Structure 1
Amino acid sequence: MGFLEQFVHNGRALLGHRSKAILLSGAACFGAVLLVQRVNSRREQKKRILEAQRRREKSFQVAERALLEYKQSHPMTNALYILSLSLSELTKQLQESALSPEEVFYTYLEKTLDVHQKLNCCTEIILDSFEQLKTIGSCKRGILYGVPLSLKENLLLKNHDSSCGVVKYLNQPADDDCVLVKVLKEQGAIPFVRTNFPQALLNYDCSNPIYGQTLNPHNLQKTAGGSSGGEAALIGAGGSVIGIGTDIGGSARIPASFCAICGFKPTAGRLSSKGCKSIFRGQKTVLSTPGPMARDVDSLALFMKAEICEQMVFLDPTTPLLPFDEGLYQSRNSLRIGYFDCIEQTPTSPSMTRGVQEVKALLEQAGHTLVPFTPVRILDMAELMSKGALADGGATFLQQLEGSPVDPVLHAQVAMYRLPICLRKVLAFILKPFVSFPSIMLIYHSFRSAAGVWKLHASIEVIFMRFSVSQWRRLNLDVVLCPIIGPAFNFCYCGKLMSMVPHSMTYNLLNFCAGVVPVSTVTEEDERNLCHLDKGGWFNRVLKKAITGGVGLPVAVQCVALPWHDELCLRFMKEVEELVKKARKDEGANANGKVYLIYDFH
């Protein structure tokens, strides 16, 4: 090799080594930049979360000082009496000036602060409520004059965040109140506290990285349920007489079941959803709706009467001017009731099956007609629910969580949504013979055309007609009695048991109205009967682990009616409540806990 050739060869070799060094250096720099960005992002996350936690703590401190000042000048001798009143009784006392708004407000504020210390159910005390209390006056305007009430955190409140447990929504205060809150204020109510929820609102546990885990008021080793779990825990422990939750798959009914209160999902559209924040804006296949939560059914009905008014329609013209039918709610005519105590291929706990059977017997004794009812195509509905609620394969859900630490209650869900579509289909195929509904949950996929969405909605219309018009009309049913998810789960099992959601989410898909009423408590026999779940599949065994240790926890039933028959559904719930109350009274104190209405919180 000549000198020139050797020179060129050596030059190329040197350049090659330098190129590799440059590439390696560039890759190292790029990695370092990514690492720095990740570290900075986590620092920013922690900073924003700490700021939100400090704001919450400050609101509690301000409330405690205000409470102390009030108690120093106004001895609170009526606290136990006030807390024992139902909403109907409380409004009557306020209207007649037997109680003042101030003593009611501070009584519930004191109880809420005490309950929160035990259950971690609140996200903040609404400090604006102190100003509203000062200006409420003595005009006694509105159905709910002087009533303090609680709100789930995703209901927009002017100058307050609605984070939904997602860091990116912190430090984004709302410009205005949601429609429901505006109407409530016009009706004289005083929103005074906001309550906790699961991260991103798509789980029926109640924990998020900002405000932590909410505990069940009847067993601190159990979850309060979700997504309206903070509401259920607060009301269930006596810290609020009435509150608002939201429900897209049982989000008000499941925590009501877990915490021994009444929860109601109206027909979507009956109450305004304007200003109810969701991380899935634009998703219309499975409809979400706000709904009341309280200790008794009359309170739910009174809330509906207060909200369904001309002002709500004026503020949100998409809601119908359909006055509350008091005559239908108060009717006590005999009903023709369909019933079932389990769903095909979906696990149901022994206590919930028993609850339905006992209520069925009480209804028959009262002169109602009970007709066996088999829900049609539940697994088909489960598939449609899955495809509709997460038609993008979970992409939006994951995007909303970007920049947020993922809460442990979501780990199972997030892991599933992160799987590639091809792998999900393979797993669904493998699992389908063994666990039908969970295998369906794995095949979420994005629709590639509008035609796919139209086909989905057409399938829902077909099932709606078969479920309601054909079956309900053929049996001439007024309402249906059925189980709800329960009793309360141990922590971190809700995300693993999405196979349970057909118990509640079916009625969101079909847009039926539905409510939950507590009727019993878990017995020792129920606990022993959990051994039957060992004979089922893997998900049955997971359910057993989730509900083990539930003796004494509330047992509830679900009452369902056709769309726009909200008053009939509430009337049915009231019937169940009254019959259980009568049976409890007839059996005396009922030491065995067989028949149950409501815990004595005070």
Structure 2
Amino acid sequence: MPHWTALVAEKKQRQLKSIPQEWLVTLPPDSTLDVTGFPETCGLLNAREIEITNTSVDILLEKLACGEWTAVDVTTAFSKRAIVAHQLVNCLTEIFVDRALARAAELDDHLKKTGKVVGPLHGLPISLKDQLCIKGLETTMGYVSWIGQYAEKNAVLVDILLECGAVPLVRTNIPQTLMWGETFNNVFGRTTNPHNRSLTSSGSSGGEGALIALKGSPLGVGSDIGGSIRGPSAFCGIYGLRPSYGRVPYCGARNSLEGQDSILSVFGPMTDSVGGIKVFMKAVVEAKPWLKDPLAVRKKWNEDEYNLTDHGSGKDLCFAIMWDDGVVVPHPPIRRSLKMTKAALQKAGHKVVDWKPIKHRLLGEVTRDIWNAASAEDFMITTSVTGEPIIATMELDDVVASSLPQKSGGITAYQLWQVQKLRQNIRKEYLDHWEATASETGTGRPVDAIICPAAPYAATPHGKNCYGYYTMVWNALDYPAAIFPVTTVDPILDGKELTHDFYDEIDKKVYEMYDPEKFKNAPVGLQLVGRTLEEEAVIRMTEIVDAALAAAK
């Protein structure tokens, strides 16, 4: 077998050849950090293509359904912008423009002949994280050992999206193993943040986050086992949803830690408009995924739940704000965004109380124990085929590759059962804790949703995204959580504050990391958290918060 570096070189050459050469552009210098405006000024997209790529998912679908815009025109526009985005921030893995355009032409032909759309996503380009198998394409997931492995069939979610009329457009970059809050691997390299290329796009759906932030896709699919949809969505200034286990089908996709079924990875939408989240979830759920994936939850889309029947029909909602998790205090821009959101909701007539977190440190530790039970062995077995080194750090200037020891150092099966039992018990405690808030809301109901940071900081310099409990706890509890953008880091408004009493060394480390100039222009997003399988309500409440913030500006 060739040396692993030779396999990478050959794969990179094939990726380069998959890009239409006439779409290569003259790029800004590396010193240009904010490249969000570049796709519209680079000269590749015409005025109509710029208009198309700046249009929200809802309006795109309307124009596609009535034939005002053809699927070929829309796919061409987003394909061009996706290729420009890739040249700027290195966000793509598999590029299949010809296949996407052929699919779009079929949809146009169907609409022309029948006057009917194929489905609720007719003609909509959709990008996919590099886990979602598409027949005939490689799904390397950032592993050199998986180069040359071509999918024999589509993942279930890909089949559903095709049935709904979508146009799979490109696949997007991830970190090796998926288990990093940054996006870097030995095959495709590092994805950077389009708002500030010296900062991370987060992970593991970092390619999706960066692509959608540059409007190279109107809607993408990410996955989330500990924050991998929410981190990139918050860091890149877009919307995202981590649904509950099984609401979106996972069958037929590739993954790390397969067989670990205590804290499950889930697929969910990432998009540049809040309406795109509902469009995706409703289309996928109404396709009855439980008939194609045995682990998919048999729960139809519920319009009553979306209309907040269980939450006072959306009038006089009570939101709880979690200012910190009792482990790490957020940076000034995060705290400012929480204050902005509180003020906007109160102005809109809603009630806001404080959320008292319980056992977040323990929930985070339990989650890590479950992941780590056999993860080292999983990674070692996967990479041993080619001898590819396992990445040990995501530091920009110190990407050290090291092999893990032959034994995983994990815990025994019995010890794992005890950790899982502990998590089960905490889930019950958290349910009771949430129910008990009915005594303080004044609505007769418990708190309707929690609003909290997605991380204690905005997008960090590469290699510095070191704390994930703000997202991980909700995976452990299986609470759906949506991300909505609020503001950006402003060095004048968000100056470094005086030291506080640190919870511990990690809290101190995060505090010392903050430099307003380094984080300049980084998007700041927050999470809205609901209760298990309450996706419809979480989406509607996110729309309400988003509208309140817009009205307050």
Q: Tell me, yes or no, whether TM beats 0.5.
A: yes
- The answer to whether the aligner puts 1:478 opposite 2:448 as a matched pair is yes
Aligned length: 508
- Runs of 4+ in structure 1 over 4 Å off: 62-65, 410-421, 533-538, 544-547
Q: Indicate the RMSD between aligned Cα atoms, in angstroms.
A: 2.6
1:22-33 → structure 2 map (5 Å cutoff): none
Report deviation, 1:502. Answer: 0.9
Q: Give the counterpart of 2:411 among 447, 469, 488.
A: 447
Letter matched to residue 405 of structure 1: P
- The answer to whether the aligner puts 1:297 opposite 2:274 as a matched pair is yes
Secondary structure of the structure 1 residue equivalent to 2:18:
helix
> C-alpha deviations, 1:26-64, integer Å up to 9, x for none?
xxxxxxxxxxxxxxx7x5201211121122112113784
Letter matched to residue 53 of structure 1: K
Partner of 2:442: none
Q: Give the counterpart of 1:114 among 49, 69, 84.
A: 84
**Using a 3 Å threshold, how does the CA distance of structure 1 residues 153 and 98 change in structure 2: closer, same or farther?**
same
Partner of 1:351: 333
Letter matched to residue 385 of structure 1: T
8 Å Cα contact 1:151/1:191 also seen in 2: yes
- The answer to whether the aligner puts 1:543 opposite 2:510 as a matched pair is yes
Letter matched to residue 522 of structure 1: V
Q: Could you list the runs of 5+ residues in structure 2 that have no partner in the other structure?
A: 25-44, 309-313, 439-445
TM-score (norm: length of structure 1): 0.79
**Using a 3 Å threshold, how does the CA distance of structure 1 residues 531 and 337 change in structure 2: closer, same or farther?**
same
8 Å Cα contact 1:76/1:103 also seen in 2: no
Q: Give the counterpart of 1:201 among 158, 172, 178.
A: 178
CA distance in 2: counterparts of 1:168 and 1:224, whole angstroms: 25
1:123-272 → structure 2 map (5 Å cutoff): 123-126=93-96, 127-136=98-107, 137=109, 138=111, 139-272=116-249
Partner of 1:458: 421
Secondary structure of the structure 2 residue equivalent to 1:509:
helix
Report deviation, 1:571. Answer: 1.2
CA distance in 1: counterparts of 2:127 and 2:298, whole angstroms: 26
CA distance in 2: counterparts of 1:463 and 1:84, whole angstroms: 44
TM-score (norm: length of structure 2): 0.86
> C-alpha deviations, 1:90-127, integer Å up to 9, x for none?
00011111111111111111111111111111112124
Letter matched to residue 152 of structure 1: K
Partner of 1:590: none
Partner of 1:487: 458
8 Å Cα contact 2:75/2:100 also seen in 1: no
8 Å Cα contact 2:244/2:533 also seen in 1: yes
Letter matched to residue 424 of structure 2: E
Identity, % of aligned positions: 27
Q: Give the counterpart of 2:468 among 492, 498, 501.
A: 501
Report deviation, 1:346. Answer: 2.0
Report deviation, 1:172. Answer: 0.9
Q: Give the counterpart of 2:479 among 512, 537, 543.
A: 512
Report deviation, 1:77. Answer: 4.5
Secondary structure of the structure 2 residue equivalent to 1:60:
coil
Partner of 2:28: none
Secondary structure of the structure 1 residue equivalent to 2:3:
helix
Partner of 2:40: none
Deviates more, 1:371-380 or 1:545-554: 545-554
8 Å Cα contact 2:327/2:507 also seen in 1: no
Q: Give the counterpart of 1:329 among 288, 296, 306.
A: 306
Partner of 2:541: 572
Partner of 1:69: none
Q: Could you list the runs of 5+ residues in structure 1 that have no partner in the other structure?
A: 1-40, 66-74, 422-443, 585-602
CA distance in 2: counterparts of 1:448 and 1:77, whole angstroms: 61
**Using a 3 Å threshold, how does the CA distance of structure 1 residues 104 and 310 change in structure 2: closer, same or farther?**
closer
Partner of 2:3: 44
Report deviation, 1:180. Answer: 1.0
Deviates more, 1:181-190 or 1:373-382: 373-382
- The answer to whether the aligner puts 1:378 opposite 2:360 as a matched pair is yes
Secondary structure of the structure 2 residue equivalent to 1:457:
helix
Letter matched to residue 510 of structure 2: L
**Using a 3 Å threshold, how does the CA distance of structure 1 residues 417 and 390 change in structure 2: closer, same or farther?**
farther
CA distance in 2: counterparts of 1:301 and 1:503, whole angstroms: 24
Partner of 2:70: 100
Return the structure number with greater helix share. Answer: 1
**Using a 3 Å threshold, how does the CA distance of structure 1 residues 338 and 535 change in structure 2: closer, same or farther?**
closer
CA distance in 2: counterparts of 1:477 and 1:128, whole angstroms: 47
Secondary structure of the structure 2 residue equivalent to 1:290:
strand
CA distance in 2: counterparts of 1:226 and 1:122, whole angstroms: 14
8 Å Cα contact 1:150/1:195 also seen in 2: yes
8 Å Cα contact 1:91/1:145 also seen in 2: yes
Partner of 1:396: 378
CA distance in 1: counterparts of 2:535 and 2:224, whole angstroms: 15
Report deviation, 1:210. Answer: 0.7
8 Å Cα contact 1:341/1:357 also seen in 2: no
